[in-house]
């Protein structure tokens, strides 16, 4: 098992969360075995997400795939602060 930790800020958590859940239910995210979302207690715009995969290779394929950038990147999800700087 491999777990990927993602830390980012969102402009509006209540608007971001349904988009995130929609993305995690998509076919291209089927290799994600489980995920958790944490929100900062002192900073509610801070979000930490963990995604668990069967292998490192599956995690790398997910992280480097264009579907993730299209689903959660600047064109689709402007609610992520700094989404224009998403890196592979």
Q: What is the DSSP letter of 4?
A: E
12: CATH: 3.30.70.100
pTM of the model: 0.72
How far is residue 78 from each of residues 20, 41, 49, 55, 71, measured CA to CA in Å?
12, 22, 17, 30, 10
| Radius of gyration, CA atoms only, the chain | 12
- Does 59 fall in a domain? no
The tens digit of pLDDT for each residue in 15-68 reads 889 988 888 888 877 889 999 999 999 999 999 999 999 999 998 888 887 777
- Specify the number of domains making up the chain: 1
Residue of 63, 84, 85 lying closest to 74 (CA atoms): 84
29 is a domain residue: yes
Residue 24 domain-assigned (yes or no)? yes
For residue 59, how many other CB atoms are within 10 A of its CB?
A: 19
């Amino acid at each position: 098992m491999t777990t990927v930790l993602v830390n980012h800020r969102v402009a509006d958590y209540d608007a971001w969360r349904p988009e995130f859940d929609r993305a995690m239910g998509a076919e291209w995210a089927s290799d994600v075995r489980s995920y958790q979302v944490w929100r900062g207690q002192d900073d509610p715009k801070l979000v930490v997400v963990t995604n668990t995969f069967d292998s490192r290779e599956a995690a790398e394929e997910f992280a480097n795939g264009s579907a993730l950038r299209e689903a959660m990147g600047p064109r689709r999800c402007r609610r992520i602060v700094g989404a224009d700087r998403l890196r592979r």
